[in-house]
């Protein structure tokens, strides 16, 4: 297919059932030399799957990706992983900031049709993530940069 110079994805791959296959399909869509840049909320490489269950249950996925698994899947998809910017140390603060946004904009969200029960559940889930991250460091977050190799030169062409 090779139609795109770059693909950008932000916090989407965590919802994919088969992350390796999705990366293969994204690579297929890139032109030679094209770039894939994506960020994702992941499980830390050493995290036990049970510690992530509350997140996966709420976010319509069965398992979170892991940084090491993404690196392997990027390579298996025929891409070169150029960089991984690990910003996991900000996740606890990020989850707490999301709770603050719910608190600051609750009236607007209620007026837009969200229920009090939904907001309370969302707030509780985020607070739980923040506490879990602070105590156990089970989540990871970062940005991957990968590139599809340039097309090989035709034989006999210099």
pLDDT digits (tens, 9 = 90+) for 70-90: 999 999 999 999 999 999 999
Measured CA to CA, the distance from residue 9 to residue 3 in angstroms comes to 16
Asked if 37 and 8 count as a contact pair (C-beta separation under 8 A), the reply is yes
Q: Which domain holds residue 47?
A: 4-147
Cβ-based burial of 77 (10 A; exposed 0-12, middle 13-18, buried ≥19): buried
More confident residue, 69 or 53: 69
Answer yes or no: is 39 within a domain: yes
Answer yes or no: is 104 within a domain: yes
Task: Write down the pLDDT at residue 57.
Answer: 77
Strands 80-86 and 30-43: unpaired
Asked if 86 and 67 count as a contact pair (C-beta separation under 8 A), the reply is yes
Rg (C-alpha) for the chain, rounded Å, is 19
Answer yes or no: is 157 within a domain: no
Measured CA to CA, the distance from residue 118 to residue 102 in angstroms comes to 11
For the cut 70, the answer to whether the pLDDT of residue 155 exceeds it is no
What is the value of pTM for the model shown?
0.84
Tell me how many domains the chain contains. 1
Q: Residue 8 is part of a domain; what is its CATH number?
A: 3.40.50.150
Answer yes or no: is 46 within a domain: yes
Answer yes or no: is 156 within a domain: no
* Mean residue pLDDT across the chain: 91
Asked if 15 and 60 count as a contact pair (C-beta separation under 8 A), the reply is yes
Task: Write down the pLDDT at residue 50.
Answer: 84
More confident residue, 40 or 1: 40
For the cut 60, the answer to whether the pLDDT of residue 156 exceeds it is no
Measured CA to CA, the distance from residue 50 to residue 46 in angstroms comes to 12
Work out the pLDDT band at 52, boundaries 50, 70, 90.
confident
Answer yes or no: is 20 within a domain: yes
């Amino acid at each position: 297919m090779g139609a795109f110079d770059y693909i950008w994805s932000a916090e989407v791959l965590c919802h994919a059932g088969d992350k390796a296959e999705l990366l293969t399909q994204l690579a297929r869509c890139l032109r030679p030399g094209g770039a894939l840049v994506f960020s994702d909320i992941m499980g830390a490489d050493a995290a036990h799957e049970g510690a992530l269950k509350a997140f996966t249950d709420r976010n319509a996925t069965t398992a979170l990706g892991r940084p090491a698994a993404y690196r392997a899947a990027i390579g298996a998809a025929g891409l070169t992983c150029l960089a991984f910017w690990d910003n996991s140390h900000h996740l606890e603060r990020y989850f707490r900031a999301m709770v603050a946004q719910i608190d600051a904009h609750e009236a607007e969200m209620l007026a837009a049709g969200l229920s009090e029960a939904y907001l309370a559940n969302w707030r509780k889930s985020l607070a739980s993530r923040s506490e879990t991250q602070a105590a156990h460091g089970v989540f990871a977050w970062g940005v991957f940069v990968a590139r599809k190799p340039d097309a090989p030169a035709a034989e006999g062409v210099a």
